[in-house]
Amino acid sequence: MGHLGRTDEPDKRTLRRELLAMRNRLPEDDVEAAGAALTEHALELGELTHARTVAAYVSVGSEPGTLALLDALRARGVRVLLPALLPDNDLDWGVYAGADSLVQVQHGGRTALLEPAGERLGPDAVTGADAVLLPGLAVDARGMRLGRGGGSYDRVLARLERAGARPALVVLLYDAEVVARVPAEPHDRPVHAVVTPSGVRRFRRPQEPGR
């Protein structure tokens, strides 16, 4: 989801290849079933139950499906923001107005992405979200997320930090993608929870020692 293109350390690249290969072997029925189960668990999260604005994304390919979750949040009256990839790999944002409002956008030779039609709110719009749903390939026991390497969500997380915004950070993954450890760099930031088809796992927030 807008996270291709940047190169980084070999350990990350190797792990990404392995995880993507595993995803690409998943039957379509398994992907659909995982998306339905993940949606059910995500909707039980207190961070989403009480959220007025949620920044999310539209899944592509074999990513765990998010469209049902987006629709359910919108039906609750939540303002859902979706990203639009900019030429420099940063993310602009627009309001989700239903599946019919999404447009397919081709960015170079990459997989076509579904992006929100209508007004663009600017990259800083994400700082007003109560929760941010993040794509990824894995998360470890510390809450460190492995993305696809494009750096789009690194910029989002850095923008939140600069603004002093403290939304709940939640990554959506398959069960097998919750691993013991992923390679991390100084700029990487931990997430607060992971939702998988089998449930939710929370990570202690760094600013909350002893909890």
Per-residue pLDDT of 69-123, as tens digits, reads 999 999 999 999 999 999 999 999 999 999 999 999 887 666 678 999 989 999 9
pLDDT value, residue 24: 93
Q: Is 196 annotated as a binding residue?
A: no
pLDDT value, residue 79: 98
CA distances from 64 to 23, 92, 172, 195, 203 (A): 9, 22, 7, 10, 21
Flag whether pLDDT at 210 surpasses 90: no
Judge whether 207 lies within some domain.
no
Q: Is 149 annotated as a binding residue?
A: yes
pLDDT value, residue 110: 65
Q: Is 147 annotated as a binding residue?
A: yes
Question: Quick one: what percent of the chain has pLDDT higher than 70?
Answer: 90
Q: Is 153 annotated as a binding residue?
A: yes
CA distances from 79 to 18, 103, 113, 160 (A): 35, 19, 21, 18
Q: CB-based contacts of 196: which residues, under 8 Å, 6+ apart?
A: 38, 41, 64, 172, 173, 174, 175, 177, 178
Q: What are phi and psi of 64, to 5 degrees?
A: -55, 130
pLDDT value, residue 155: 93
d(CA 6, CA 79): 31
Judge whether 21 lies within some domain.
yes
Judge whether 71 lies within some domain.
yes
Which residue, 68, 70, 64, 65, is CA-closest to 131? 70
Helix (H, G, I), strand (E, B) or coil at 170: strand
Judge whether 211 lies within some domain.
no
Q: What is the CATH number of the domain that holds 124?
A: 3.40.50.10420
For residue 85, the enclosing domain spans: 10-202
Judge whether 163 lies within some domain.
yes
pLDDT value, residue 107: 76
pLDDT value, residue 205: 60
- Give mean pLDDT, residues 35-56: 95
Flag whether pLDDT at 68 surpasses 50: yes
Q: What are phi and psi of 173, to 5 degrees?
A: -145, 170
d(CA 94, CA 50): 21
Q: Is 115 annotated as a binding residue?
A: no
Judge whether 181 lies within some domain.
yes
Flag whether pLDDT at 208 surpasses 50: no
Q: Is 150 annotated as a binding residue?
A: yes
CA 206 to chain centre: 20
Q: Is 58 annotated as a binding residue?
A: yes
Q: Is 25 annotated as a binding residue?
A: no
Token pair, residue 74, equals 């919108």
What is the count of structural domains for the chain?
Answer: 1
Q: CB-based contacts of 100: which residues, under 8 Å, 6+ apart?
A: none
The DSSP symbol for 190 reads: B
Q: Is 136 annotated as a binding residue?
A: no
pLDDT digits (tens, 9 = 90+) for 14-26: 999 999 999 999 9
Judge whether 144 lies within some domain.
yes
Judge whether 96 lies within some domain.
yes
Please, which pLDDT band fits residue 6 given cuts at 50, 70 and 90?
Answer: very low
